[in-house]
Amino acid sequence: MAILFIVDMQNDFITGKLGSKEAQELLPKVIDFVKDFKGRIFYTMDEHSKDIDMDSIELTAFGDHCMEYTVGRKYPQELEVLLEKNHAKCCYKNSFMPEKYKRKDLWKEVDYAVTENQFDIQDIYVCGLCTNICVLNTALYLRNHLPYDKITVLKDLCAGTSKDLHEKALEVMQSNLIEVKESREV
């Protein structure tokens, strides 16, 4: 079975406060890929709370984003409906690292499902936003927890905070034995 991790394809990173033209152009491509994907889907959701996270290094550096109960925290409706239809599992997080969950312990579910071979894993794919921050950290998290599995970042389904940092992050992932491919190659 193939597994797809969609990282932080949230409104604030697409059209909102931290959005970009590249992220907006990426959204329909991710939607098309998900429509054709045969396998299990997990997606991360960055979420911050004014009560808990206001002094965090992330909110200090980037300002308020993906605040709980806001439209900016949500996935775009077309993608959200598609993920629900595919019974995708949401993994909430409040930092760059996916292990810093603060709601349901869904990363433990991911770890258990993958490491205890609940699935006959053939490939693990990663896509989303931002290549040089959360995609990079998610891919490295997976590499550290799944040292024997094939992990592939779909470079045309990712966007970084700049084209240069996108490319540099892809190089870092490759140096950590994470494959980097175009989505049409899988």
Mean local confidence (pLDDT), 130-157: 92
Greatest CA separation for the chain: 44
Q: What is the pLDDT of residues 78-108, one digit of tens each?
A: 999 999 999 998 887 766 555 444 544 545 6
pTM summary value: 0.87
* CA gap 67, 72 in Å, rounded: 7
* CA gap 142, 147 in Å, rounded: 8
Sheet holding 179-181, edge to edge: 89-93, 39-46, 2-7, 123-129, 151-159, 179-181
What's the mean per-residue pLDDT of the chain?
A: 86
94, 107, 77, 103: which is closest to 134 by C-alpha?
Answer: 94
pLDDT at 143 over 60: yes
